[in-house]
Structure 1
Amino acid sequence: MKRAACDPQPAGTAPNTYPDTPEAFQKNPYFHGQANSWPVYIPSGKSFYAERFRDKNGSTQQNSYLTFYVLDKYSPPECAKKCDAVSLCTAFNIYVERDPSLEPGPACPNPKSVANYKCALWGSDISPATATNTGQYRADFHIVIAASNGYSRASWAPPSPISGFQLAQNLSNKAITSASRSTYLGWKFIPGPYDPSLCGSYATVQTAANKQEAKNKGSKSYQPCNSFNAYYVYKNQYAQGTYCQLFNADIDGMKASGQADTTYQGDRYSVGVSYTWRADPQDDGQL
């Protein structure tokens, strides 16, 4: 529902700052004390999250955003629980945000502020380089960030099962680059969090399309997708999305050479996580 100008906004969950200015908010010693009161490791469930940055005046912004929550208190463990409950979440950012008490508009361009504890979830690793969202203006009201801490899961959990495919190998931060041209079927880039199941769906659809095309042409064989490599791409340390490579044979990733990063037109591209899957059963491509 669209908010009308000067409509009251939810009360904040964090203490107000006096004087009520963006500069005073970002210097509030209470907020900085909260950010610095937590250890570098946050246990949660069967794993733990490791600190990536601490007490920044900016929150993370990149393609792998999932969702956010408003918390009742500054609690990295509570934010970690939120991340645990979301299947694609691998990192979280907790911070304090200066928000307007009224919807800014012509009659109330710069209302009094409220403060909220926010927990943002991410489907990739985060780093100090990603904490670049320092706020924005809504009319004359300046939204700013303080006490921003970022944590990433210390180890990637094995990906969830993918229908029709069996998890083959963990290639760590490398991607298959030396497979022969005769086995390579194509690629697809999908912006957002790391989600190899989308590569599985793409592979299944591509096999079906190749099979139907062969039937239409009266061919006796087609090109099936018998394996794929799904890896996560970073551009200059910013999360971008999942890159899918399809192959008509079962690719042995341990024998294929890989690369961790490359530079193209001045930008550095790197791989954050990479797995291969093989079709189960293998498809002989015969009609």
Structure 2
Amino acid sequence: MRSIAFIAGLAALAAASPTPQILPSDQLAELPSPPITDVSSGAGSEIIPLDTNSLASDAVADIIADPTPDLEANIPSAINSTTSLEKRTSGTCASQPAGYGPVISPDTPNAFVSSTQLSGPALSAPTWVNGFSQTFQNKYASVSGCSYQGYKTYKTYDVYQAATDCKNIAGCKGFNIFYERDPTQDPGYGCDNPASTTVIKASFWGNLIGPNLATNKGQYRDNFQVVIAGSNGYNIDACETAITGWTQQQLGTCTINSPATTCAGGSDSYLTYTSFSDGNMDNSRCKAQCDALTKQNPSKPCNFFTSYMQVHNNMCGIQFCSFYQRAWDQSYCTNSGDPVNHNTIAWSSSFTNNACDGTENCPFVRTAL
């Protein structure tokens, strides 16, 4: 993991914009993409909670070691991304775990993806459940996404249980529930196309998931074809984080664009921002960096920060943290990205230091229109 830090006082940015907390689209385009991961086929479970303590520690080390622009950070744009069918061979014919989904007849891939027994539950599933909103419905592919956090298999197509399970996984922000056609034996010599079983599965993610990420159409295991049906995606509506001594304000699809302000010593309230291209979304690491900035320069304390996802082309988001000497209310939430160039903002929120919001040190009176 590595953060990309920017300093407001840089001459290039200052010349380009009086509000350097807004990145131009060409610079957003240069940011590295989070790594993409697939979900393994078959029944079972695998849960990978987010280690927020480690993320916060790394974030502090980053902003201390590298408080300058660094657009050259090289993070791979894709890891094991399955957008077409791949072939796997050399199975053992061993029995595989059975799924609990409907038995589809005839037992063919085409019958599976066209079955109303599988599309029916997906189409009738709720569009909102337990704080999650549906982002796509009844796809024939599962998610290949960012910040993979494991999967579980179920006895029924239970969106409510999948939402509950996601909330119980540290860092989980979304889930993909779907039917998967899997073999009853590990395909190999003498059993290259065994009978199928229908596995009901949900995968869990710490990033945005949408239709553009529903690209995993399955694979060949020898002559057996794994395929997907009834795939629905859900993302959490808001990222709530309880931080002792700080008040969170949900901002949604915009973030703060502060005006020029005179603080003590003639400085501006805006300090700097960082971005994280590891695919995770963790408000607490913004708080850790805010504290580190205050410790580094107590004369310009960080009393307010924003945290949000910068999203390009509705793919995985990159987390941004912006830091300020003073708090700004929601009326200054005017930075909505650059929708014309397909750059949008999601899961935005601000955090204000309850002990000192910085307004006394950085007075500002809005000019009446």
Give the TM-score, by structure 2 length.
0.60
- Residue 236 (structure 1) aligned with residue 310 (structure 2): no
From 257, 278, 281, the equivalent of 1:191 is 278
Deviation digits for residues 101-126 of structure 1, max 9, x if unmatched?
34455776554432200112334554
Contact 2:251–2:333, Cα closer than 8 Å, also in 1 = no
Q: Which amino acid aligns with 1:185?
A: T
From 346, 353, 357, the equivalent of 1:279 is 353
Residue 150 of structure 1 aligns to a residue whose secondary structure is strand
Residue 113 of structure 2 aligns to a residue whose secondary structure is helix
1:63 aligns with 146
1:259 aligns with 335
Residue 231 of structure 1 aligns to a residue whose secondary structure is strand
Deviation digits for residues 135-170 of structure 1, max 9, x if unmatched?
2344544321101123344x426x22224x512533
Q: Which amino acid aligns with 1:246?
A: F
**Distance in 2 between the 1:235 and 1:100 partners?**
37
1:204 offset after TM fit, Å?
Answer: 2.7
Contact 1:191–1:240, Cα closer than 8 Å, also in 2 = no
From 217, 229, 238, the equivalent of 1:156 is 238
Q: Which segments of 5 or more consecutive residues in structure 1 lack a partner in the other structure? A: 212-220
Residue 119 of structure 2 aligns to a residue whose secondary structure is helix
Alpha carbons of 1:37 and 1:178: their partners in 2 closer, same or farther (altered >3 Å)?
A: closer
1:95 offset after TM fit, Å?
Answer: 0.8
- Residue 22 (structure 1) aligned with residue 105 (structure 2): no
Deviation digits for residues 13-32 of structure 1, max 9, x if unmatched?
22333333322221223212
1:270 aligns with 344
Alpha carbons of 1:177 and 1:110: their partners in 2 closer, same or farther (altered >3 Å)?
A: farther
Contact 1:235–1:268, Cα closer than 8 Å, also in 2 = yes
Equivalence map 1:208-247=2 (5 Å): 208=295, 210=296, 223-247=300-324
**Distance in 1 between the 2:348 and 2:333 partners?**
13
From 250, 253, 257, the equivalent of 2:326 is 250
**Distance in 1 between the 2:351 and 2:127 partners?**
34
1:218 aligns with none
1:253 offset after TM fit, Å?
Answer: 4.2
Contact 1:64–1:240, Cα closer than 8 Å, also in 2 = no
1:230 offset after TM fit, Å?
Answer: 0.3
Deviation digits for residues 172-203 of structure 1, max 9, x if unmatched?
21123445584323313253343211211233
- Residue 144 (structure 1) aligned with residue 227 (structure 2): yes
**Distance in 2 between the 1:185 and 1:32 partners?**
48
Percent identity of equivalent pairs: 30
Alpha carbons of 1:141 and 1:206: their partners in 2 closer, same or farther (altered >3 Å)?
A: farther
Alpha carbons of 1:241 and 1:68: their partners in 2 closer, same or farther (altered >3 Å)?
A: farther
1:171 aligns with 251
Give the TM-score, by structure 1 length.
0.75
**Distance in 2 between the 1:33 and 1:253 partners?**
45
Equivalence map 1:87-106=2 (5 Å): 87-104=170-187
Q: Which amino acid aligns with 2:115?
A: N
Alpha carbons of 1:83 and 1:186: their partners in 2 closer, same or farther (altered >3 Å)?
A: closer
Contact 2:238–2:252, Cα closer than 8 Å, also in 1 = no
**Distance in 1 between the 2:337 and 2:189 partners?**
49
